[in-house]
Each structure stands twice: as structure tokens, then as C-alpha cells.
Amino acid sequence: MTEQVRVRFAPSPTGSLHLGNVRTALYNWLYARHTQGVLILRIEDTDKERSSEAHCEELMEIMTWLGLKWDEGPRVGGPYAPYKQSERTDLYEAHLERLKAKNLVYPCYCTEEELELERKRQLGRGHMPKYGGKCKNLTPEDRQKLEAEGKTPVLRFIVPPGEITVQDEVRGEVVFPDDQIGDFVLTRSDKSPTYNFTVVVDDALMKVTHVIRGEDHLSNTPKQILLYKALGYLPPKFAHLSIIKGPDGRSE
């Protein structure tokens, strides 16, 4: 028996839905209907500052008005509830513990200013900016000292060496060379989890089979593949859609 298709539309309720979001929702809905699969609506509201309940309600009204009915998600429930990331904190914490137990995480105390300086230096040398790993080799004493000074760290994931290949359903094979991805942030200094982390935990737990989204997320995909591997999950299939641009060349 072939596996049932499970796709998701995962908007962040930080503003009104734009045309690009609606198209992503439409493609996911079409694929779910075409394959007798399941469309999940997941609300990605971990950015507490920018997310609002009003935007969340509005986007569900718009989807309903467009006839893009979801099979699992807020209002309708489902076997992998809750479908709002702000209500799934314990799951992210449990997964973080798994990564910590494998020594794949370290605290980073670099300030925004230090990181910005590093980025500028790398760009100045014509290199892709990425975190150089300054805090990776801090000793427990160094960490204690920084914390005694009141510094609250972010937690970074240790990216293993080696290139990463994304097998994209639209673009084919996309190779990300060895030196392009620096150790990336899993939790912010207020301990809230970042997008790349929550999206993997949720797509894995919600048994998503196909991730269909805008190609602005293509560069996140190798990071997500690394997290799937580190957590022992099988990655879904990925399909990155071209971005809709306005006449001024900016994305809609």
C-alpha cells in the first residue's frame, strides 16, 4: 500500500496573508485533494513579538473564504494536535534534550554586534557569511564566567562537515557545499525555539510526507535535513515553488 500523502500549509501569523502564501496554500490543497491525502494547517507563532491571534483568525477566514479547507489544524483538530507552535513547547524541549544528549548543541554568547562585524568581514573578503564557531570551544569555566556577567546564550546546532544535497521535486538536485552552513541557532536567548528547529520537529511528528513551500526556504532545507538526521527521522520530500514577484521585482 502506498503511503498516504500528508502536506501542510504553515503560515506565521505576523501579518496579513500575501499572494505568495495563498499560492503555497493552494498548491498544498491541490496536491492533497489530487492524491486523497491530508492537508494540515499549522500556525507557526513562535515569534511572540510579531505574531497575533487576530492575524491567525484572519488567515483562517481567508482560507475558508477561498474554499481551501484543511483536514487537520486549528478549529478542526486532528491526531497530532495541538497545531499551533506556541502550544507545542514541551515537544521542542524534549527534542532539544535529545540533541544535547548527543553533544550536538553548544551555547553561544556572541552579541548581535559581534556577529554583524563577522558578517561584514566575511562579505568584505567575498565569502558567504556564516557563523565561524567562536563559542564552540569555550571551556565550562569560560561559560560560567560569561553567565556570571549576566550573558544569556543562544543554543547552536553543530553542523557536521560535508556537502549536503537536497533532492528537490521542482529543481532536481541542489548541492550545498561544505563551507556554506555555519552552526545555526536552535533556541534564542529567551529560550524560544527558532523556525528551522520547530519546523523539523513538527513536520516529523505530524508525519508530513511532502513539504511544498516557497523557494525563499530552499536555503533552510539543508539545515533541516541535518536536523532530521540528528534526530533520527526520515526527511520528507521537498518541493520549492518559485516566488511571485510584483512589477517592482520584490516578492509579493
Binding footprint of ligand GLU on the chain (CB under 6 A): 10-12, 44, 199, 213, 217
What value does the CA radius of gyration of the chain take, rounded to a whole number of Å? 19
Q: 179 or 216, CB closer to ligand GLU?
A: 216
Q: 24 or 154, CB closer to ligand GLU?
A: 24
Question: Which three three-digit cell numbers place residue 66?
Answer: 477561498
CA distance 245 to 20: 9
For the bound state, the minimum distance from the C-beta of residue 12 to ligand GLU, rounded and expressed in Å, comes to: 4
Q: Which of 78, 164, 156, 76 is nearest to 110 (CA)?
A: 156
Q: What is the length of the chain? A: 252
For the bound state, the minimum distance from the C-beta of residue 199 to ligand GLU, rounded and expressed in Å, comes to: 5
Q: 85 or 99, CB closer to ligand GLU?
A: 85
For the bound state, the minimum distance from the C-beta of residue 189 to ligand GLU, rounded and expressed in Å, comes to: 21
Q: 14 or 189, CB closer to ligand GLU?
A: 14
For the bound state, the minimum distance from the C-beta of residue 61 to ligand GLU, rounded and expressed in Å, comes to: 17
Do residues 6 and 209 touch, judged by C-beta distance below 8 A? yes
Angle at 186 between CA 252 and CA 139, to 5 degrees: 145
For the bound state, the minimum distance from the C-beta of residue 210 to ligand GLU, rounded and expressed in Å, comes to: 11
For the bound state, the minimum distance from the C-beta of residue 86 to ligand GLU, rounded and expressed in Å, comes to: 13
Q: 55 or 213, CB closer to ligand GLU?
A: 213
Which helix (H) or strand (E) is 38 found in, with range? strand 38-41
Q: Residues near 208 by Cβ (< 8 Å), separated by ≥ 6?
A: 6, 7, 8, 40, 202, 236
Q: 84 or 156, CB closer to ligand GLU?
A: 84
For the bound state, the minimum distance from the C-beta of residue 21 to ligand GLU, rounded and expressed in Å, comes to: 7
Q: Which of 216, 219, 214, 220 is nearest to 241 (CA)?
A: 214
Q: 118 or 215, CB closer to ligand GLU?
A: 215
Alpha carbon distances (Å) from 57 to 25, 61, 76: 16, 6, 14
Q: Residues near 126 by Cβ (< 8 Å), separated by ≥ 6?
A: none
Three-state secondary structure call for residue 210: strand
